Chain A
Amino acid sequence: MGTSDRLERIREQANVADRDADEPTVLAAVVLAISLLLLSPVAWVLITASEMPTGRLVELVGSETTMAVTVNTLVLVVAVTTMSVVIGVPLALLTVQTDLPFKRFWTVTAALPLVVPSYIGAFAFVSAFGPRGELADLLAPLGIQQIPTIYGLHGTVLVLTLFTYPYVFLTTRASLISFDGTVIEAARTLNASRWQAFKRVTLPQILPGIAAGALLVALYTLSDFGTPAIMRYDVFTRMVFVEEQARNPDAAAVLSLLLLVLAMSILAVESRIGASRDGAYVASGDRRAGEIELGYWELPAMGFCAAIGALCLALPIGILGLWLVRSTEAAPAGFVFELQHVTNSVLLAGGAAALCVVVALPIAYLSARGDGTLSSLPERVSYVGYAVPGVVIGLSLIYLALRFVPFLYQSLFVLVFAYVVRFLPQAVGTTESSVLQVDPSYLEAARSLGYGPLTSFRKVVLPLVAPGVAAGAALVFLTTMKELPATLMLRPIGFETIVTYIWLVRGAAYQGQAAVPALILVGVSGLSMLIILRQEA
């Protein structure tokens, strides 16, 4: 089929909508209203900042605290991103392009740290290396009274790097796998050395993959609340929370605004890289050409993989195990982990998942099948959740609820809405990709066989997209279970979930009690990883 024929077809498909003009218009109107709601947290930040007297705004932005927090945040983001690349790229190269023994094992080990929520990792590291931690206890008999503190920048960088580098690892790995190894052999036959071949052929082709992973790490680092809070390092997320607790909405709004600007810039860069990645060449053969023999380097390479695995997996799991063993002593009332915490978490996550599916289906369908920019606008808007950190959503919704719907303030409804704003992109993403896999001519075929548009949709499209929709719902469910900042800020007083329970006992130093809920969350993250991997397969 020639290009012009293809164009003819695309135009035609766009035009089918003409006939049933009423239905898409109603759909578009509903979807547009929803997307406006989704934008409300961002709008609140912007409006609050713009309503502030200019002098106050300048004073807040220019204040010493703000400056310090900005510098802290930037240093943290740059450091974590760099370190993630330093760890993630070699791991990806080792597991894809060399003859490393037990490659599958190391691949799984290298990806697995993603299943440990970073705040639980931070918690474990404090417990291991903090003052009066396991290491200190171990060293005390040897006469070592003080070990360097884990708190602050280096601890935060260490923890965040160890639990986010898998983003770089996975994206780099993906581009290495889709990369045709024969071109390395071609380069070698053209007399390039191994290193030159890597630099001139491999690197330019996997660079977009590395960059995509690095940006994910940067975005995650920027918006993570739990880790810097536990590691006592003052970044935007922590300070927004602190200012909110101190009832300083102005300062919190300004800090949120700066945080948003940073997040949006990272996302903007990411979307450009994402677009350029579409053109990447995908190898058709499964032959792994150009594999590197490690030789003497085999042992050091395995040692590297093992060390990362030990730090990221063995250590936190070991600490959780220790807690579990030691948690026999009864905690005081109010600090006991109960079934109620789990059911509360499940209730919230279930509500968020259900609402996300209902909202995501029309948005995704309109974006995948509609014509032109206008119909993909709601989909774009829904991605705002990726960029808006949980603290900002939490903060905005507190004040929005107080001002416009005071009867909903501190209700579960607002909290579920916060989850929807934050995690809708996951549901829209999986739903849209499954809608896109449904050939538009299925619908036309059903109509030519005598069914109306809605019946055709129900009989043909719905059964085909159901697995994607379910996967989206499961993802939202599982991520909601782990969400920390918005839950902390928006839950009704006295309403405790698994996450808020962990936060509570951490603050009160009954950390032993946190073992079971922490292990539940690790399991939950593991499940969501599995779903993501199956979606991509």
Chain B
Amino acid sequence: MAKQKPSQRISEFETVQTAVEDPERTVLSIEGVSKRYGPEKAVERLSLSVKDGELLTLLGPSGCGKTTTLRMIAGLEAPSSGTITIAGETVTGDADGPFKKPEERDVGIVFQDYALFPHLTVAENIAFGLDELDEVATDARVAELLELVDLVAHEEKMPSQLSGGQQQRVALARSLAPEPDVLLLDEPFSNLDVRLRVEMREEVRRILKRAGVTAISVTHDQEEALSISDRVAIMNDGAIAQVGNPGEVFENPESRFVASFLGQASFLSARVTDSLETGLGSFDLELLNGPIEAYDGAMIDVLVRPDDLQAMPTSEPKADGYVVHRQYNGPNFIYRVELHSGDVVHCMHNHVETFEAGQPVAVDLAADHELAWYPAE
């Protein structure tokens, strides 16, 4: 895959065949689900719905309740309240039927550490959930999946003989084999090294799209979430802070939490008058996204990411602030600049533009898009 030209890769990404019957049908719906452990609340009145064939990622920091949510969908955990409906059937117990155990739900899981059965071969692992098919049908289905995940040559190997990426593909194949209504992926890439991680993101997305399965993935890695998902749900403190397609949530974070969680965000405090008064000078109100009229005369915080700002060395009297820290990332530098106004912002520069700490700089707002803002706290 890595050897393909970019254009080819993009075209494959856009046009993978899918087996989705009705992209408008809601396959999974979670309504007002809470989970408490004693007095502690892990998930609090969470609602979410996922459509057929969609790949949704729950993104959030450690302990935000995303894994608990995943386990409640699987039936490994019972919600304290609320309902979960999978393919039109309520699985959390209602008048029509009792709580459905994991084995009674058509839900597949790819575990974080894959949980491949070490005493079974690749083919036997994939066939594990196919007990309702006869031998011929099982073999056919296993062959089909081996083909899908590109592991035909490894059929007879034991899991321990496979690389991390191969193990992950076996885990995918095993959970896809019984054709689940919903596939759950728990931190699917966290056990892979960085280079393989990027490769497997594309590969997993390709496999999921081709299988046409509705999938929910859980991660704390924003890059992963933004790159593989159709939609991203950002979670905080057991609740969903924002749901939307990756571009939407990145460009228009609805809350400070979402904003600070995506990208290396800084906030520029500003006063709204006829124009926008900031520590970097005055700007046109048009630069802000959304209606600002109600905030006339008030203080707001404007979201600025490192790529929105440019720092220029200058003499002391003309400077907006000082460089206080330099973070070298290889291709670029991120400079932390403390402004005279007290705000701290980050500026991204090409790897050849080297400033030293203590350098007085003028900072220019070079954004070519509308900026998100929040009422000052």
Interface of A: prevailing SS: helix
Chain B CB within 8 A of A304 CB: no
B76 and A444 contact, CB distance less than 8 A: yes
Q: Judge whether A4 is part of the interface by a CB distance below 8 angstroms.
A: yes
Across-interface contacts of B77 in A (CB, < 8 A): 12, 15-16
Evaluate contact between A448 and B107: CB separation under 8 angstroms: yes
- Residues from chain A with a CB closer than 8 A to the CB of B154 are none
Could you list which residues of chain A lie within 8 angstroms of chain B, going by C-beta atoms? 1-5, 7-9, 11-12, 15-16, 18-19, 439, 441-442, 444-452, 456, 459-460, 463-464
User: How near does chain B come to A24, taking the closest CB pair, in angstroms?
Assistant: 15
Given contacts A12-B76, A444-B109, contact A451 B71 (CB under 8 A): no
Contact mask for chain B residues 105-142; partner A; CB cutoff 8 A; 1 contact, 0 none: 10111011101011100000000110100000000000
Tell whether B304 is near chain A: CB-to-CB under 8 Å.
Answer: no
Is B16 located at the chain interface by the 8 A CB criterion? no
Judging by beta carbons under 8 Å apart, are B63 and A4 in contact? yes
Q: Quote the shortest CB–CB distance from A462 to chain B (angstroms).
A: 10
User: B interface vs A, CB < 8 Å?
Assistant: 37, 42, 62-63, 67-68, 71, 74-78, 99, 101-103, 105, 107-109, 111-113, 115, 117-119, 128-129, 131, 174-175, 178, 187, 190, 220
- Nearest A residue (CB) for B67: A8
- Are A449 and B37 interface neighbours, CB within 8 A? no
Q: Which of A2, A449, A456, A459 has the most CB of B within 10 A?
A: A449
What are 21 A-B interface contacts by the 8 Å CB criterion? A1-B112, A2-B220, A4-B62, A4-B63, A5-B63, A8-B67, A8-B68, A12-B71, A442-B115, A444-B74, A444-B76, A445-B175, A446-B117, A447-B75, A448-B74, A448-B76, A449-B108, A449-B174, A450-B129, A450-B131, A463-B119
Contact in complex: B63, A16 (CB < 8 Å): no
- Bound complex: CA A319 to CA B74 (Å): 67
Query: B107 — which chain A residues lie within 8 A by C-beta?
Result: 448
What distance in Å separates the Cβ of B89 from its nearest Cβ neighbour in chain A?
Answer: 15
Contacts of A460 in B (CB 8 A): 117
- Per a CB cutoff under 8 Å, which of A2, A12, A459 touches B62? A2
Given known A12-B68, A16-B77, A449-B128, contact A444–B63 (CB-CB < 8 A) = no
Output the nearest chain B residue to A464 by Cβ-Cβ distance. B119
Across-interface contacts of B71 in A (CB, < 8 A): 12
**Given A1-B112, A445-B174, A451-B103; 9 other pairs, CB 8 A cutoff:** A1-B187, A3-B62, A8-B63, A441-B115, A446-B128, A447-B103, A448-B76, A449-B174, A464-B118
Count chain A CB atoms within 10 A of each CB in B68, B75, B77, B103 and give the residue with the most. B103
Residues of B within 8 A of A15 (CB): 37, 77
Q: When the two chains form their complex, are residues A448 and B109 in contact, meaning their CB atoms are under 8 A apart?
A: yes
Q: Is the CB of B111 within 8 A of A445?
A: yes
**Distance to closest chain A CB from B176 (angstroms):** 11
Least CB distance, B10 to chain A, in whole angstroms:
33
Chain A-chain B contacts (Cβ-Cβ < 8 Å), number: 95
Chain B neighbourhood of A464, CB < 8 A: 117-119
Q: A444-B76, A444-B111, A464-B118 are in contact. Are A11 and B178 (CB under 8 A)?
A: no
Complex alpha-carbon distance, A323 and B129, angstroms = 63
Residues of B within 8 A of A5 (CB): 62-63, 67, 220
- For B109, list chain A residues within 8 Å (CB): 444-445, 448
Cβ–Cβ contact B68 & A449, under 8 A: no
| Shortest CB distance A515–B (Å) | 44
Min Cβ gap B63→A in Å is 4
CA gap between A4 and B63 in the complex, in Å = 6
**CB-CB under 8 A for A449 and B175, given A1-B187, A1-B190:** yes
Shortest Cβ-Cβ A-B pairs, 10 listed: A449-B129, A2-B62, A4-B63, A441-B115, A447-B102, A5-B62, A445-B115, A441-B111, A4-B62, A448-B109
B108: A residues at CB distance < 8 A: 448-449
| Distance A5 CA – B220 CA, assembled complex (angstroms) | 10
Is there an interface contact between B76 and A439, defined as CB atoms closer than 8 Å?
Answer: no
B298 to chain A, nearest CB (A): 36
Q: CA of A367 to CA of B129 in the docked complex: distance in angstroms?
A: 29
**A441 CB contacts on chain B under 8 angstroms:** 111-113, 115
B78 surroundings in chain A (CB, below 8 A): 18-19
Looking across the interface, which residue of chain A has its beta carbon closest to that of B62? A2
- 8 Å CB contact of A452 from B42, B67, B103, B129: B103
A108–chain B nearest beta-carbon distance, Å: 30
Smallest Cβ distance from A442 to chain B, in angstroms? 5
Chain A residue nearest to B63 (CB atoms) is A4
Verify A2–B118 contact, CB threshold 8 A: no
Contact A450 B117 (CB under 8 A): no
Q: Would you call B129 and A11 a contact (CB within 8 A)?
A: no
| Most-contacted residue by chain A among B109, B174, B175 (CB, 10 A) | B109
Cβ–Cβ < 8 Å partners of B118 in chain A: 464
Residue in contact with A9 in the complex, picked from B67, B105, B115, B190, CB distance below 8 Å: B67
Min Cβ gap B319→A in Å is: 39
A residues in contact with B74, CB < 8 Å = 444, 448
**Shortest beta-carbon distance from B219 to chain A in Å:** 11
- Assembled-state Cα–Cα distance A460/B99 (Å): 24
- Write out the residue numbers on chain B whose beta carbons fall within 8 Å of the beta carbon of A446: 117, 128
Measured between beta carbons, the chain B residues less than 8 angstroms from A442 are: 115, 117
Most chain A CB atoms below 10 A, which of B99, B111, B178 = B111
- What B residues does A16 contact at CB under 8 A? 76-77
Minimum CB–CB distance from B181 to chain A (whole Å) comes to: 12
B261 to A: closest C-beta gap in Å: 15
The answer to whether B178 touches A450 (Cβ under 8 A) is: yes
- B101–A19 CB distance below 8 A: yes
Residue B103 contacts which of A3, A7, A8, A450 (CB distance < 8 angstroms)? A450
